[in-house]
């Protein structure tokens, strides 16, 4: 009888411990969609990292605590143990799309109360410009090229100047931008006369669009 009671007590303790551990689990869930269509994206890789405070001291870098991929409808679930985290950081990656990295305040995440993080990913496109001096006049020949006011929220095409000087200029420069979008550009040619041109090009997602400027 005593042995039976001891087994029951042990089983109760184990069950309580399991429930307690489960109750401390935190869940981040949501849907990853295509920015253009709103449809769910499959096989998107998600990784959740945390920055922890231990003994009142910040541990330093981030540590991975959960990772997963989206289902066929774009949904996902990240489940991990609650800790004394200062920041949760979710990285989201899919080939052909711009990566996203989103921080979550741990105060907004609690056990048994899933945190919803749904994100739209923007497809990538590439634009490549080639500047070629096909009719050189002198070593003072000069061409200046820049994209006009690109407003993409990413580390991609900028309005930085691309410049070539001399008779043997053949420069190629590429950058990424949001797919299925237009980009405007300007180039100035300084030879025997000074000429300015402005144009635009449509850049389909997942493709490279080439601009050839011969002067």
Task: Dump pLDDT digits (tens) for 55-73.
Answer: 656 556 899 999 999 999 9
Domains 26-121 and 124-214 agree in fold: yes
User: Residue range 177-200: average pLDDT?
Assistant: 95
Instruction: Choose the CATH number for 26-121 among 2.60.40.1120, 3.40.605.10, 3.40.640.10, 1.50.10.10.
Output: 2.60.40.1120
Q: In sequence order, which residues have a C-beta less than 8 Å from that of residue 125 and are 6 or more positions away?
A: 176, 177, 178, 179, 180, 181, 203, 204, 205, 206, 207, 208, 209
The pLDDT of residue 54? 66
Instruction: Choose the CATH number for 124-214 among 3.40.630, 1.10.10, 3.30.70, 2.60.40.
Output: 2.60.40
Task: Dump pLDDT digits (tens) for 76-91.
Answer: 999 999 888 899 999 9
Give me the chain's average pLDDT, please: 88
- Structural domain boundaries of the chain? 26-121, 124-214
Q: Residue 187 pairs with which residues in a beta bridge?
A: 145, 197
Residue 180 and residue 125 in contact, taking contact as beta carbons nearer than 8 Å? yes
* pLDDT higher than 50, residue 3: no
pTM over the 0.85 mark: no
């Amino acid at each position: 009888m005593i042995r039976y009671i001891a087994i029951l007590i042990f089983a109760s303790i184990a069950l309580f411990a399991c429930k307690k551990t489960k109750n401390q689990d935190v869940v981040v869930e949501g849907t990853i969609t295509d920015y253009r269509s709103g449809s769910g994206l499959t096989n998107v890789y998600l990784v959740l990292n945390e920055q922890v405070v231990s003994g009142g001291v910040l541990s330093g870098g981030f540590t991975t605590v959960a990772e997963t991929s989206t289902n066929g409808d774009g949904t996902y679930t990240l489940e991990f143990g609650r800790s004394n985290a200062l920041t949760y950081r979710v990285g989201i990656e899919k080939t052909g799309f711009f990566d996203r990295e989103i921080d979550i305040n741990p105060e907004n995440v609690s056990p048994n109360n899933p945190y919803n993080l749904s994100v739209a990913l923007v497809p990538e496109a590439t634009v490549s410009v080639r500047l070629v001096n096909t009719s050189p006049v002198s070593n003072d020949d000069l061409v200046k090229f820049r994209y006009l006011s690109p407003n993409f929220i990413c580390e991609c095409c900028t309005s930085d100047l691309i410049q070539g000087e001399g008779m043997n200029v053949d420069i190629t420069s590429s950058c990424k931008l949001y797919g299925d979008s237009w980009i405007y550009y300007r180039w100035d040619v300084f030879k025997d006369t000074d000429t300015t041109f402005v144009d635009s090009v449509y850049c389909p997602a997942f493709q490279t669009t080439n601009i050839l400027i011969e002067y």
